Structure 1
Amino acid sequence: MSSCTSVPRQKQRRSSRRSGLTSGRDSQALSALGDFQTLPLEIFQMVLNYLSVKDISMLSMVSKTISGRLINYISTSSGSRRLLLQDFHRPELPARREGASILEHYKALGLLLKRCTLLLPTRDRLKYVHKVLAGVSCFKLNGCASPLHCLGLQCYGVFLQILTAGWDELECHRVFNFLWELSNLARKVQTVVSSKPGSARRLELRIRLYCRGVLLSPGSHRSDCAFWLTRILKPWPMVNQARLLYIIFGPVSSRDGEKRGAPGEEIPPKNVIWGRGVMGAKGAKMERKLRRGAGSGMSRERERDEPGTGAGNGNGMSLEQEQERDELRTGAGNRRGMSREREQERDEPGMG
């Protein structure tokens, strides 16, 4: 009889322990929310609409529970509209945003996502950031119809600069590989460096703007720029590296941005980077010199060392013609010397 009564008591103790554990976890989560525990989730998100991005970023550091709620808020449609501003063709935000620069806004947004994803692995952080920013077309290499007058890539660059600040080299390698595969930059760069100069001028311009705006963001430290530039150039041979450097940092035509097509579409001039203008001619000439490379130097040395070729003479004469010319010069010099001796004998008295 006692054994029958002990079984229900054990079950009752286990159920009480489980209920105690769950209630303890719930109480911890509620205590982490603080005064926000009395607010429904919808009201909490409405409160966030009245806070600046910097204030939301500070709020994310209060507790892990609040950080999780902020992550859910950013993923909602109202949070995306609130945080992912897309006024990239106007440098200043509307008056309701206190006239702040859109670049400053995306710096603060980068810090917000950096703090919200602080406890996640690098791979998961990148996936979450890509999921949040996937709807911004101007952050893509071919996303904007007017890239010359768009701040989208620069905003993306400062966002990534703040997000990856303080990361170690291995994490930055993962970031670069993620961006390299996401934008399919390897195939596009291969198309540019293997084609004739100026034949893919639109793609050249977009690669230039993407590399300068996103990877080599203005205001970055010199060491960071050196790291990203090394990663860009490393997969390519030296000739393609030289051409890629010229595309990224080379001069641009003064007509850049003046020739326009349909509304909302920017058509770069034919000589933007490699075209038929002065800079395009210099670029093509440099390209030909680099392609000759060390092979041309070896051929010139071989021609200079071989007799009778006349390649290193600079006057188009063969070796036999030079020898005949030297003999004629020697004979003329001897005749001039004999004539001087006869004159001296004639002028001296008592001689002859």
Structure 2
Amino acid sequence: MNEAKLILVLGDQLSPDQAAIRSARPGVDIILLAEVDEEATYVRHNRHKIVFLFSAMRHFRHELEALGHTVAYVGIDEGVDRLETAVERTLQTHALTEVVVCEPGEYRLLDRIQTQWSELLGVPVTVLEDDRFLASHTDFASWAKGKKQLRMEFFYRKMRERYQLLMDDGQPAGGKWNYDADNRAGWRNQRAIPERPNVSMDAITQHVIAQVAERFPNNPGDLEQFRLAVTRTDAQQQFDWFISHALADFGNFQDALVEESPWVFHGLVSMYINCGLLDPLAVCQRVEIAWREGACSLSAAEGFIRQVLGWREYIRGIYWYFMPDYKTRNTLNAS
């Protein structure tokens, strides 16, 4: 007998390839996505972020259903206070025997899931590692062990070697690991800034905007200017536009302060990577292809890949390596 499980998918885990969804059996298990008050209010989120995640979650629901999954969905208008409440209600409605979830990106929630949920819900709770990241907790801990200083640059080099990004015959492409010194040009109107394409808003996103405007009236964020992609297809189109129209100048001006544009030549894809609409390794590989095809300089490609493969993975590794004590550190003695 196949006992059905509840597969909980958090708002920043919207990839069908993440570990918990890979374990889901279409027609047997129930996948739950939940917009709950606590996760939307524990800090004063910008309303663009709330709209982006809620709309992306609602679109992801349809993506999962198209793959044959049964999805339970809790909307913000239902007034559910916490994830535990949404999970408990779904367990009872569908007579499910276990909860499976990919680990959250914050210690506060992971600690609660691991130490409280099983007793509270009365069923086993299995937490799977988030393998959408390119360095596991074990990978990072193995690299950090015995080091007096945890330098991002050296971690980044190991990641380049591991994933063979910008490598030629075992050596860094061009003979150098880091081209940051080439990416510090001043602005002085040296280039025409390309106009970015707008993302069309469907009825789902328009409804979310109306709900968020009503429910979070005092949060920052002018929703008259919402322009983020909320589907995998649209996120990929935004990244493709960056490759074709902005990557060539990204390197030179990535640190420039420009009055004419808030984003200049930047990719504007971090939110899509972080919530699962884009894959970090695929993004890096596509940028390398652009360089090898002559569409951008090596310094531009290296500068972009360093942000994703280096800084993104390193900061995440540092966070989990030192938590929970990390949250109480005050190295600069701030008051």
The structure with the largest strand share of the pair is: 2
Q: Could you tell me the TM-score, scaled by structure 1's length?
A: 0.23
The structure with the largest helix share of the pair is: 1
Greater Rg by CA? 1
